[in-house]
């Protein structure tokens, strides 16, 4: 049966943003049910006039205020009666990023019986008082489910499969107020409904209002967690057995579909800790933080295990990879983050770095001002530290090419403390003709372009060449090398590794020009990529724990083996409607 989706919006005296919310939803061509939860007369009048303006909208009026949970459940029951298979819960105050609705639907199409939960990525508008209780609730939910499956149980931005949800509503007593979001999710997990998580941006409007009642709702939530805790004790054997059941392996997702974890606020807090207390406290705080990411990041953990096993096999080592090796791998990533912060705060200078092949750096500084270069790097070591140090060198102007939608939280957090962190950071979605022309102008002006060569295309299948890496064929993107060919300038390989407590920067000449001949272009490209893979492997063996590609690096880059659906969701959703 084909899935059919609608949106359910509970509303109690929210009129400030509701029209903007509906305008944002309108292009999606999805039916919307607003449940008026006994609002005052003014709100009642405003809401019931909206269907005249928005033909896709229906309003259900509850005679008295029963709470957010009661309104959501009333909307679900109505949607189910009308034949919808899924409902997307959205708040009325405008805090949710409604552009992510197609992403929820795309994930639901792949997992139609799962609940898709939004994981909030808060900006600076979030009140600190909202964050601390969330983390306490996270802890209790993990206890109540004996699982880390539920990443955030309080975010009201979710997609529910209605058959399973309505069955639970009709057979169980679920909280009707602010206890609803957490309780229904825990009970759905108890009922063996799959829980999937999708990061989404959340903003608190300056003129927003909250109906959270400090004492009454905190008491409700306390009672709810007490009830759920004892409910867990009864179900503990069954919940524990779920960890031992073999699960069908989901299809691999592309590296770019893995959202950057952690909140901007959390990263800023770590920067603050470093600034005021130095590295010692930062390193201590990192221990439980890294443990959390190891425990909850199953895909990254599996990727680390696979990579470390292949390192051992390549080195002909018979020792087994243990959990503490994976933890060490994650912890090295945290240490690299510390050094990025130190570099952008000016605490790492040229005297703290050993530059190998110094004559190459000298020649770059003395070169013709109209002759730039391309540096091809990787996610091995600390490339960002090189860029930070480069900002202190007036003879070199370094530009870094990054993809707009990925790995920018850390950058935004650093920007708060040093605005230069985003200077010369070129954010692009694709490497098109316009981008190539802009980069050509920069190279012709004597500037440096840094691009990584160990990530495949965000938008296209098959634009790769396979080359041996640690004994197995791995896909490498053609893009960086074709770009270097178009720019017609010297190309270097750049690696920055931490060895014996000190950073070592390796800048190797790769080619005076990567100009590709038309006749044997494919053969040339294969040879170039194999050379890059060989050097990447060489440096990887020097510092194996500084490999920060936490995904299946060897996954085949074709439609049978990898999904890029999360990146083309809007296009797919638009095609489905026509």
DSSP per-residue codes, 71-97 = HHHHHHHHHHHTT-SEEEE--SSS-B-
C-alpha dihedral (562, 563, 568, 573), degrees to nearest 10 = 140
| SS3 state of residue 37 | strand
The domain spans of the chain are 5-244, 338-562
| List of residues 6+ apart from 432 with CB closer than 8 A | none
User: Tell me, what's the pLDDT at 514?
Assistant: 85
From the list 405, 94, 63, 411, the residue with the least C-alpha distance to 256 is 405
Non-local (6+) Cβ contacts of 231 within 8 A are 144, 190
Encoded tokens for 346: 């000016």
Tokens representing residue 8 in the block:
């359910």
Q: Which residues contact 433 (CB under 8 A, 6 or more apart)?
A: none
Q: How many CA atoms lie within 13 A of 567 on its CB side?
A: 21
CB-based burial, 86-117: b 16+ in 10 Å, e otherwise:
bbbbbbbbbbbbbebbbbbbbbbbeeeebbbb
Give the DSSP letter of residue 27.
G
Confirm or reject CATH 3.40.50.720 for domain 5-244, answering yes or no. Answer: no
Quote the pLDDT of residue 341.
77
- At residue 63, the 3 state secondary structure works out as coil
**Cα-based torsion angle of the residue sequence 516, 519, 522, 526 in order, rounded to the nearest 10 degrees:** -60
Query: How far apart are the C-alpha atoms of 147 and 224, rounded to whole Å?
Result: 18
CB 477 within 8 A of CB 321: no
Q: What is the mean pLDDT of each run of 10 residues along the chain (578 residues)?
A: 87 88 92 93 92 92 89 95 94 87 91 90 56 71 88 88 94 86 93 89 63 63 88 90 64 55 59 75 83 84 94 93 94 86 76 83 69 90 73 68 59 58 62 80 87 79 88 92 89 91 90 84 92 96 93 79 47 40
Contacts of 18 (CB under 8 A, 6+ apart): 9, 11, 34, 46, 47, 50, 92
Instruction: Please state the separation of Cα 308 from the chain's center in Å.
Output: 23
Task: Flag whether the pTM goes above 0.85.
Answer: no
| Cβ neighbours of residue 268 closer than 8 Å, sequence gap 6 or more | 413, 416
Angstrom distance (rounded) from CA 110 to CA 266: 31
Q: How far apart are CA 186 and CA 239, in angstroms?
A: 12
């Amino acid at each position: 049966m084909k899935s059919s989706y609608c949106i359910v919006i509970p509303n109690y005296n929210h009129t400030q943003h509701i029209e903007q919310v509906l305008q944002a939803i309108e292009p999606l061509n999805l039916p919307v049910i607003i449940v008026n939860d006994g609002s005052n007369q003014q709100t009642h009048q405003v809401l019931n006039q909206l269907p005249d303006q928005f033909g896709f909208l229906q309003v259900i009026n509850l005679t008295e205020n029963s709470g957010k949970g009661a309104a959501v459940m009333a909307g679900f029951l109505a949607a189910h009666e009308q034949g919808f298979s899924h409902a997307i819960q959205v708040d009325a105050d405008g805090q949710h990023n409604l552009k992510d609705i197609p992403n929820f639907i795309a994930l639901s199409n792949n997992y139609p019986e799962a609940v898709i939960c939004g994981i909030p990525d808060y900006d600076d508008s979030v009140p600190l008082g909202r964050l601390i209780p969330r983390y306490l609730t996270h802890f209790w939910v993990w206890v109540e489910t004996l699982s880390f499956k539920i990443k955030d149980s309080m975010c009201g931005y979710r997609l529910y499969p209605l058959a399973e949800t309505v069955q639970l509503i009709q057979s169980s007593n679920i909280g009707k107020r602010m206890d609803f979001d957490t309780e229904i999710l825990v009970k759905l997990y108890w009922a063996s409904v799959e829980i999937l998580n999708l990061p989404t941006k959340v903003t608190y409007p300056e003129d927003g209002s909250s109906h959270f009642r400090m004492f009454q709702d905190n008491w409700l939530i306390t009672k709810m967690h007490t009830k759920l805790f004892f409910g867990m004790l009864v179900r503990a054997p069954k919940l524990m057995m779920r960890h031992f059941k073999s699960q069908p392996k989901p299809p691999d997702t592309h590296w770019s579909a893995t959202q950057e974890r952690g909140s901007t606020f959390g990263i800023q807090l770590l920067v603050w800790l470093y600034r005021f207390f130095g590295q010692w406290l930062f390193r201590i705080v990192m221990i439980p933080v890294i443990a959390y990411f190891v425990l909850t990041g199953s895909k990254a953990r599996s990727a680390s295990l696979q990579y470390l096993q292949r390192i051992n096999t390549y080195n002909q080592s018979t020792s087994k990879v243990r959990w503490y090796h994976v933890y060490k791998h994650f912890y090295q990533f945290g240490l690299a983050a510390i050094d990025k912060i130190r570099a952008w705060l000016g605490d790492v200078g040229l005297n703290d770095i050993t530059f190998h092949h110094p004559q190459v750096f000298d020649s770059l500084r003395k070169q013709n001002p109209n002759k730039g270069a391309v540096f091809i790097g990787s996610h091995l070591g600390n490339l960002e530290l090189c860029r930070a140090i480069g900002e202190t060198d007036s003879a070199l102007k370094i530009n870094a090419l990054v993809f707009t939608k990925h790995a920018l939280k850390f950058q935004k957090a650093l920007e708060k403390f040093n605005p230069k962190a985003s200077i010369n950071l070129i954010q692009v979605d694709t490497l098109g003709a316009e981008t190539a022309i802009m980069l050509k102008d920069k190279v012709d002006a004597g500037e440096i372009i840094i691009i990584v060569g160990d990530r495949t295309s965000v938008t296209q299948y098959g634009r790769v060449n396979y080359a041996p890496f640690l004994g197995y064929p791995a896909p490498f993107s053609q893009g960086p090398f074709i770009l270097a060919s178009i720019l017609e300038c010297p190309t270097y390989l750049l690696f920055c590794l931490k060895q014996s407590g000190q950073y070592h920067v390796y800048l190797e000449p790769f080619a005076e020009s990567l100009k590709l001949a038309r006749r044997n272009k494919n053969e040339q490209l294969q040879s170039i990529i194999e050379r890059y893979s060989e050097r990447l492997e060489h440096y990887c063996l020097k510092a194996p724990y500084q490999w920060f590609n936490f995904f299946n690096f060897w996954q085949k880059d074709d439609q049978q083996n990898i999904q890029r659906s999360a990146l083309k969701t809007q296009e797919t959703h638009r095609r489905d409607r026509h």
